[in-house]
Structure 1
Amino acid sequence: MLAGKRILLIIGGGIAAYKCLDLIRRLSERGASVTPVMTAAAAEFVTPLSVSALAGEKVFTALFDLTAEAEMGHIELSRSADLVVVAPATADLMGKMAHGRADDLASTLLMATDTPVLIAPAMNVRMWEHAATQRNLKTLKEDGIRVVGPNEGGMACGEYGPGRMAEPMEIVEAIAGALGEGPLKGRRILVTSGPTHEPIDPVRYIANRSSGAQGTAIGAALAALGAEVIFVTGPADVPPPEGVQVVRVESAREMEAAVQAALPVDAGVFAAAVADWRVAQASDRKLKKTREGLPVFELAENPDILAGVSQMGEGRPGLVVGFAAETDDVIPHATAKRARKGCDWIVANDVSPATGIMGGTENAVVLITGEGAESWPRMGKADVARALAARIAAELETS
């Protein structure tokens, strides 16, 4: 899927640099050519000889290579590739990129390039969570830099959390998506995410604890596989993913209208936590306390967006995926919901308070299909999203 594509791979100085040897091999197997650039620190973790042997290319390390610079070599390197990939992207490299520093070959190439850039961050969890790193990440995303990972897991330093570099095949998929060559190339997929807010009056509303994190991760994972993603989101805590078409809504009725406007699509993933009810007659003024007692609200049922799309005739997506957030009897309730709604798959999870899943960084889901229930291990929400996106790609390929 990457035949003939040219990748400029900048290897940063972190323990995750060893993964780049496998990354180069995976890219080469798929027909891509890799031109490697190593920082001085990267050579402390993997040898230029190893990198060169796998890439079949010279490894570039020095900015002041007089022979190459006589021909403005760093300019040519930065612009002859189809994609620049930085892996691992250390905190130092991200800082240089965000602030426009160019004091070595790697940072100079990144300043000189007009080629799309994808980074795979890797660092200690405290460094990743540091305010400076998060500011730099925000700046890079605003500059159009694509990001894959990092994942959660154990660190070489013994700590656990976000900061592990994405695995080589995850980076390959992100590269394919960035180049428009992923398995979902040409596919149009709708994703709903986040909660809905149902107004009581201008300052109060009915809502739930959904953060939108899982929906955002799914949108990003599908886009990384090359899909055109229409991302319909309620007022979520987390920002929408990069590289998708974002449609912002507040209420369930607004979400239903946005979903209908997005059709037709190849697949629909309905991850939003839509409020089941709304106040039938929301006040246009702030309600005040009175001596007459508590106000009484009449509730009205919100539209069932998942059932509406699942049961439509002509124009129904080829694959409809719903979500079920349960607090008990997860599999029986989710199986019944799949049959009742008419969708193809249900992704179910236990959101009882003890699990820490609602609003947390991890998820433990059960995929309900026509073949039965498949329990997945607890993992980060980004990992769940990538696994689900891969299953969707495989399903659409056979349909």
Structure 2
Amino acid sequence: MLAGRHILLIISGGIAAYKALDLIRRLRESGAEVTPVLTRAGEQFVTPLTVGALAGRKCYRDLFDLTDEAEMGHIQLSRAADLVVVAPATADLMAKVAGGHADDLASTLLLATDKPVLMAPAMNVRMWQHPATQRNLRLLQDDGVRLVGPNEGSMACGEYGPGRMAEVPQIIEAIESAFGDGPLSGRHVIVTSGPTHEPIDPVRYIANRSSGRQGAEIARALRDLGARVTFVTGPSTTPPPAGVEVVAVETALQMLGAVQGALPADAVICAAAVADWRVANAHADKLKKDPSGRIPTLEFVENPDILATISQMQEDRPRLVVGFAAETSDVLAHARAKRARKGCDWIVANDVSPETGIMGGNENAVLLITADGVEQWPRMEKSEVARRLARRIAEALAE
């Protein structure tokens, strides 16, 4: 799959740099060309001689090398490849790129490139979980940077948790996906996300606390596995991921129309927090206080059920329809009943009680309910929930 592909591999400082040597070997065995770049910190873990020998070409290290600037300037170097891979990607290098810094060869290449970028983060668990790293991560993802890992496990520092660099086969798979050769290549998936806004008058509306982050992460994860993603989103505080087709809507009626207009699809993932009701007597002008103190009466009508509508299609129904159940009590019972009532294949259920901090937060803890039973996933970053769900979707569509 990678024959003839040209990959610019940036190796930054960290004990996981040793995995980059195996990565180079396997990429070349797959027919890819690898141009290596080694940071000064990376040289403390692997040598330029070893890296260059495995790659079969010069290992670049210095930004201000006059010979290189004459033969292969850093701008040309950043754009000659088909894909830029950073493995390992340290917290420091991720922070530089997120902030737009360019004070060495690696950061300059990442700022100057016009090619897709894939990062494999590797760092101590506390560094990975630090709010600054998570903030930089979101900035990078919003800028279109793809991620693989990190994994959870024991680290060289003796701690345990997320932060281990992804294993080489995972990175190879992510590289293939970046070239459109992933397990969802050729598949079309529709993802709904965010809240809906149901107008009361031109300046007021009924909504909920959904940030849209989980839906955006799911769309990003599906994209990273090679899917063509149509992302139907309500007014969200989370920017949509790059590389997907975005259809912006406000109301439930508009969202249903957008989903139906995007069909046919292999799968539909209904992650949006759609309002159950809309105001039937919405006012064309802003409502004013009545001098007599009379409170206006709002008449409600039920919104269309997008999940049930798609699940119960008689013709051209998607092979897989996944719904979400945000509950505050009896989560499993309500979710099971919802799956049966709507007719969808899977339900992803979570507890969004205020004390959980899940609604509008960066973490989630879900139950995956299928015809085969119930899986309880531990609390984790919404990005990791998305990756797990995307992988399960790919497996289901491959059956």
TM-score of the superposed pair, with normalisation by structure 2 = 0.84
Match for residue 177 of structure 1? 177
Count of residues in correspondence between the two structures? 390
Match for residue 166 of structure 2? 167
* One-letter amino acid matched to 1:116: P
Distance of aligned partners of 1:217 and 1:93 in 2 relative to their CA distance in 1, 3 Å threshold: closer
| Aligned residues of 1:151 and 1:382 also touching (Cα < 8 A) | no
Deviation at 1:153, TM superposition (A): 7.8
Distance of aligned partners of 1:313 and 1:45 in 2 relative to their CA distance in 1, 3 Å threshold: same
Match for residue 147 of structure 2? 148
Tell me how far apart the structure 2 counterparts of residues 376 and 108 of structure 1 sit (CA, whole Å).
39
| Aligned residues of 1:235 and 1:248 also touching (Cα < 8 A) | yes
Deviation at 1:297, TM superposition (A): 1.5
Match for residue 313 of structure 2? 312
Tell me how far apart the structure 1 counterparts of residues 151 and 360 of structure 2 sit (CA, whole Å).
16
Match for residue 388 of structure 1? 389
1:338 and 2:343 are equivalent in the alignment: no
Distance of aligned partners of 1:361 and 1:20 in 2 relative to their CA distance in 1, 3 Å threshold: farther
| Aligned residues of 1:198 and 1:275 also touching (Cα < 8 A) | yes
Question: Which residues in structure 2 correspond to 1:1-399 (within 5 Å)?
Answer: 1-14=1-14, 17-18=17-18, 20-21=20-21, 23-24=23-24, 27=27, 32-48=32-48, 51=51, 59-62=59-62, 71-72=71-72, 77-87=77-87, 88=89, 90-92=91-93, 95=96, 99=100, 101=102, 104-107=104-107, 109-110=109-110, 113=113, 115-120=115-120, 124=127, 125=130, 127-128=132-133, 137=140, 141=143, 146-148=145-147, 164=163, 167-168=166-167, 171-290=171-290, 291-398=292-399
| Aligned residues of 1:14 and 1:90 also touching (Cα < 8 A) | no
Moved more, 9-18 or 234-243: 9-18
3-state DSSP class of the match of 1:176? Answer: helix
3-state DSSP class of the match of 2:37? Answer: strand
TM-score of the superposed pair, with normalisation by structure 1 = 0.84
| Aligned residues of 2:151 and 2:166 also touching (Cα < 8 A) | no
3-state DSSP class of the match of 1:259? Answer: helix
Moved more, 10-19 or 251-260: 10-19
* One-letter amino acid matched to 1:351: V
What are the ranges of 5 or more consecutive residues in structure 1 without an aligned counterpart? none
Distance of aligned partners of 1:247 and 1:396 in 2 relative to their CA distance in 1, 3 Å threshold: same
Tell me how far apart the structure 2 counterparts of residues 331 and 30 of structure 1 sit (CA, whole Å).
46
Tell me how far apart the structure 2 counterparts of residues 382 and 31 of structure 1 sit (CA, whole Å).
31
Moved more, 55-64 or 147-156: 147-156
Deviation at 1:375, TM superposition (A): 1.1
Report the identity percentage. 64
Distance of aligned partners of 1:325 and 1:48 in 2 relative to their CA distance in 1, 3 Å threshold: same
Tell me how far apart the structure 2 counterparts of residues 343 and 30 of structure 1 sit (CA, whole Å).
40
Tell me how far apart the structure 2 counterparts of residues 240 and 372 of structure 1 sit (CA, whole Å).
32
Moved more, 227-236 or 63-72: 63-72
Please list the CA deviations of residues 9-39 of structure 1 after superposition, one character each: whole Å capped at 9, or x if unmatched: 1112345545545654664676544332101
Cα-Cα RMSD: 3.5
| Aligned residues of 1:94 and 1:137 also touching (Cα < 8 A) | no
* One-letter amino acid matched to 1:308: T
Deviation at 1:4, TM superposition (A): 4.3
* One-letter amino acid matched to 2:217: A
Tell me how far apart the structure 2 counterparts of residues 318 and 135 of structure 1 sit (CA, whole Å).
31
What are the ranges of 5 or more consecutive residues in structure 2 without an aligned counterpart? none
Tell me how far apart the structure 2 counterparts of residues 38 and 297 of structure 1 sit (CA, whole Å).
64
| Aligned residues of 1:12 and 1:90 also touching (Cα < 8 A) | no
Tell me how far apart the structure 2 counterparts of residues 393 and 89 of structure 1 sit (CA, whole Å).
29
